[in-house]
Amino acid sequence: MAQLAAERLIALLDRSERPSICLTGGTSPIRLYQLLGEEPYASRIPWSRVHWFIGDERFVPPNDPLSNMAAARRLLLDDRAPHANIHAVRTAGVTLDEAAQAYEEELQAFHGSDSLDTATPLFDLVLLGLGADGHVASLFPGQQTMTVTDRWVVPVPKAGMEPYVPRISLTFAALASSREILFQIAGAAKKAIAARAMQEADLPAHRVRSQGEIIWMFDKAALPDPAPI
Ligand code: 6PG
């Protein structure tokens, strides 16, 4: 699955002069990040042109083991991506609200606009995992953040699942401004929620939209039965 995801990611880097990739946290992308940092993949990435964002971040110090971007940096970005191309959420010396506002402004500055027009999607690729409760990024079931349409980034004071640290999250609107979304879902523990996510409209994973394709990648253990095809 990680190899397939790596091939898809690399294939789309040539479609844009300044590709923007929205990374994800959790365990599902770890193998992908490792692969992309190794040969033969690493040298196929035009590092100077690619910009890296994160779909959600835990509100912890930048080097905290829980930090999503810290994991991506350690496995993939540090020593390869130019510093200016790594767009992390600021979590030190700011409040949660300020962090969300600042990341929204950073996205808008990169996009060159404060509106999400359909002609130019914000992201070339958004990576997502599926939470055990059906959450995506840090948009948790039943939380008011699921209904926000006028923000790109929201503060999430209470996580719906562990680790119970405050988060900041991109909204459905920002995630939808994408040329492609790629879910990676692995392990038997995800099988039941993956099946529910296909059917239950109130689950965040069901609400994900993109201007382009939404690809669900499962390993054999997580694949809903019957398969959703
Ligand atoms: C986070 C994530 C979150 C994650 C899912 C799936 O910060 O926790 O971004 O949305 O993708 O919880 O996590 P796993 O891949 O670990 O199952």
pLDDT in tens, 80-132: 999 999 999 999 999 999 999 999 999 999 999 999 988 899 999 999 999 99
- Token pair of 181, please? 């979304």
Flag whether pLDDT at 193 surpasses 90.
yes
Confidence of residue 228 (pLDDT cuts 50, 70, 90): low
d(CA 220, CA 104): 37
Name the 3-class secondary structure at 11: helix
For residue 47, how far is its CA from the centre of ligand 1 (angstroms)? 25
Q: Which of 173, 45, 8, 27 is nearest to 107 (CA)?
A: 173
Mean pLDDT score, 182-201: 94
- Ligand 1 atom 13, closest CA: 26
For residue 217, how far is its CA from the centre of ligand 1 (angstroms)? 15
Neighbours of 55 (CB within 10 A): 24
Instruction: Tell me the best of 23, 30, 31, 56 to mutate to test the pocket of ligand 1, counting ligand atoms within 8 Å of each CB and taking the most.
Output: 56
pLDDT value at position 229?
57
State which ligand 1 atom lies nearest to the alpha carbon of 26.
Answer: 16
**17 contacts: CB under 8 Å, gap ≥ 6:** 49
Percent residues over pLDDT 70 in the chain? 99
Flag whether pLDDT at 203 surpasses 70.
yes
Ligand 1 in contact with 59 (CB < 6 A)? no
Its pTM stands at 0.97
For residue 75, how far is its CA from the centre of ligand 1 (angstroms)? 17
Instruction: Tell me the best of 1, 24, 154 to mutate to test the pocket of ligand 1, counting ligand atoms within 8 Å of each CB and taking the most.
Output: 24
Q: Which of 146, 123, 129 is nearest to 201 (CA)?
A: 146
How much is the mean pLDDT over the chain? 96
Instruction: Tell me the best of 66, 67, 136, 168 to mutate to test the pocket of ligand 1, counting ligand atoms within 8 Å of each CB and taking the most.
Output: 136
Contact assessment for residue 96 and residue 130, using Cβ atoms and an 8 Å cutoff:
no
